[in-house]
Amino acid sequence: MTRLIRLLSTRIAPPLVALLCALPVWAQEYEPVTEASQPKTDPSPFVIGAYGFIWVAVLVYVVVVARGLGRANREIEELRRRVDAASRSA
Q: What is the rounded end-to-end Cα distance, in angstroms, of the chain?
A: 78
Whether the per-residue pLDDT at 90 is higher than 90: the answer is: no
C-alpha closest to that of 71 among 82, 83, 79, 59: 79
Distance in angstroms (rounded) separating the CA atoms of residues 85 and 80: 8
| Rg (alpha carbons) of the chain, rounded to whole number | 33
Condensed to tens digits (0 to 9), the pLDDT of residues 18-47 reads 767 766 655 566 667 777 667 778 888 899
Whether the per-residue pLDDT at 54 is higher than 60: the answer is: yes
For the entire predicted model, the pTM comes to: 0.50
Spell out the alpha helix ranges (H) of the chain.
Answer: 2-7, 13-28, 44-89
What confidence score (pLDDT) does residue 28 get? 64
Least confident stretch, 2-11, 40-49, 75-84? 2-11
Whether the per-residue pLDDT at 15 is higher than 90: the answer is: no
Q: What is the band of 72 on the pLDDT scale with cuts at 50, 70, 90?
A: very high
